[in-house]
C-alpha cells in the first residue's frame, strides 16, 4: 500500500515508525513537509520520500494521511484536491469534520476521520475512527491498519462521538499527567525525595493501568479489591465522595466535549 502524508510532524513520524516496525516498506511512503528540520529528521530515520510539495509520491499513493495542523488544513488540501480519484483520505487533524474536508476537497467523500492520542508516540496509543456509510470495508481496513500501527483502535457509529473521544482519550493523557503530578507532589511534601516521589507516582499509574488491561475484572471491582473496610484506601475514597470528585470530573469531560464541538464549528468556516 502506497501512503502519502501531508505533514511530517510528531504524529506522522510515529505512524511511519509504527508502520515500518510492522513490516511496511518505507520506500512506499511519501511525506510532504515544509519544515527543513522536520524533513531532515524524517529522512535521517526512514528511507521515505520527502518533498516540500505534492509530487509523484502523492500521485501514486492509494491513501493520503492528513497530518497538518488544523489551521493549515484548507491551504494544504488546495494542493491535492484536483487529483483524488481512487484515493482514500485519512484525517488525523483534530476538530475538522468530514463535511468540511469533503467541501475543501471538491466533494470527495472517501474519507476516514481519526482521533489518536499522544501515547501513540511510544506505540501505546488509542484512536477513535469514524467513516461515513459510503466508505467501504476495504477502506476502513486500510485506515485501521495505519492507526493500529501505533496502538488500539475503536470504531464509532456517529461522527459527533469523536468529540467525546477527544475529551476522554485525546485530552485524557493530560488528566493522567496531572494525577501523577498530584501524587508526587503530596509524597514530596510529606518528606519523600522528589525523584522517588515521581517514581512512586508514575509506577503506580503504570502498574494500575496494566492490571486493569490484563484483568477480567471491571475497574469498579478492581477498586473494591483494593478497598478494605475502614482502611486507608476507604479513607481517601470517602473524601473523593464528600468532595463530589466524580461529578466534577464528569463536568470537566463535558466541558472538553463541548469545546471539541465548538472548535469543529470554528474550523469548518470558509
Q: What is the pLDDT of residues 7-57, one digit of tens each?
A: 999 999 999 999 999 999 999 999 999 999 888 888 889 999 999 988 888
Alpha helices in the chain (DSSP H): 10-21, 36-45, 56-60, 73-78, 98-104, 137-147, 161-165, 172-189, 194-214, 219-226, 232-242, 245-267
Do 11 and 31 meet the contact criterion of CB atoms below 8 Å apart? no
Residues 70-100: tens digit of each pLDDT: 989 999 999 888 889 889 999 999 899 999 9
Share of the chain above pLDDT 70, in %: 100
The predicted pLDDT at position 93 comes to 92
Share of the chain above pLDDT 90, in %: 83
Q: How far apart are CA 79 and CA 230, in angstroms?
A: 65
Do 139 and 124 meet the contact criterion of CB atoms below 8 Å apart? no
Q: What is the homologous superfamily of the domain 3-157 according to CATH?
A: NAD(P)-binding Rossmann-like Domain (3.40.50.720)
* Mean pLDDT to the nearest integer, 235-242: 97
Q: How far apart are CA 267 and CA 191, in angstroms?
A: 48
Tell me what the pLDDT averaged over the chain comes to.
94
Using alpha carbons, select from 102, 121, 114 the residue that is nearest to residue 143.
Answer: 114
pTM of the entire predicted model: 0.91
Task: Count CB-CB contacts under 10 A for residue 3.
Answer: 24
- Does 64 have pLDDT greater than 90? yes
pLDDT band for 105, please (50, 70, 90 cuts).
very high
Domain boundaries, the chain: 3-157, 172-263
What's the angle, vertex CA 35, arms to CA 78 and CA 124, rounded to 5? Answer: 90
Q: What size, in residues, is the chain?
A: 270
Out of 1.10.10.10, 3.40.50.1860, 1.10.3730.10, 1.10.579.10, select the CATH number for domain 172-263.
1.10.3730.10
Do 59 and 34 meet the contact criterion of CB atoms below 8 Å apart? no
Distance set, CA 223 to CA 15, 165, 182, 215 (Å)? 34, 24, 19, 12
Where b means 16+ CB within 10 Å and e means fewer, 8-45 reads bbebbbbbbbbbbeeebeeebbbbbbeeeebbebbeee
- Does 270 have pLDDT greater than 80? no
* Mean pLDDT to the nearest integer, 171-193: 98
Residues 248-257: tens digit of each pLDDT: 999 999 999 9
The predicted pLDDT at position 158 comes to 96
The predicted pLDDT at position 23 comes to 92
Where b means 16+ CB within 10 Å and e means fewer, 140-176 reads eebbbbbbbbbbebeebeeeeebbbbbbbbbbbeeee
Using alpha carbons, select from 26, 78, 35 the residue that is nearest to residue 54.
Answer: 78
Q: How many Å from the N-terminal Cα to the C-terminal Cα in the chain? A: 33
The predicted pLDDT at position 228 comes to 95
Amino acid at each position: 500500500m502506497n501512503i502519502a502524508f501531508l505533514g511530517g510532524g510528531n504524529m506522522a513520524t510515529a505512524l511511519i515508525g509504527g508502520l515500518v516496525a510492522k513490516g511496511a516498506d518505507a520506500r512506499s511512503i511519501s511525506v510532504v513537509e515544509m519544515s527543513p528540520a522536520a524533513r531532515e529528521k524524517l529522512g535521517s530515520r526512514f528511507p521515505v520520500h520527502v518533498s516540500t510539495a505534492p509530487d509523484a509520491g502523492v500521485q501514486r499513493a492509494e491513501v493520503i494521511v492528513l497530518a497538518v495542523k488544523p489551521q493549515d488544513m484548507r491551504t494544504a488540501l488546495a494542493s491535492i484536491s484536483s487529483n483524488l480519484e481512487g484515493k482514500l483520505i485519512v484525517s488525523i487533524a483534530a476538530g475538522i469534520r468530514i463535511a468540511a474536508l469533503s467541501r475543501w476537497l471538491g466533494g470527495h467523500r472517501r474519507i476516514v476521520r481519526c482521533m489518536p492520542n499522544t501515547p501513540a508516540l511510544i506505540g501505546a496509543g488509542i484512536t477513535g475512527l469514524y467513516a461515513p456509510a459510503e466508505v467501504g470495508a476495504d477502506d476502513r481496513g486500510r485506515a485501521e491498519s495505519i492507526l493500529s500501527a501505533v496502538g488500539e483502535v475503536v470504531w464509532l457509529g456517529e461522527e459527533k462521538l469523536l468529540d467525546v473521544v477527544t475529551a476522554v482519550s485525546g485530552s485524557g493523557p493530560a488528566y493522567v499527567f496531572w494525577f501523577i503530578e498530584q501524587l508526587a507532589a503530596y509524597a514530596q511534601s510529606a518528606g519523600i525525595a522528589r525523584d522517588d516521589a515521581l517514581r512512586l507516582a508514575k509506577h503506580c499509574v503504570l502498574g494500575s493501568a496494566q492490571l486493569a488491561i490484563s484483568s477480567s475484572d471491571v475497574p469498579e471491582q478492581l477498586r473494591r479489591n483494593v478497598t478494605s473496610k475502614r482502611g486507608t484506601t476507604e479513607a481517601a475514597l470517602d473524601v473523593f465522595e464528600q468532595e463530589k470528585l466524580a461529578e466534577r470530573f464528569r463536568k470537566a469531560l463535558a466541558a472538553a466535549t463541548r469545546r471539541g464541538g465548538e472548535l469543529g464549528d470554528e474550523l469548518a468556516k470558509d
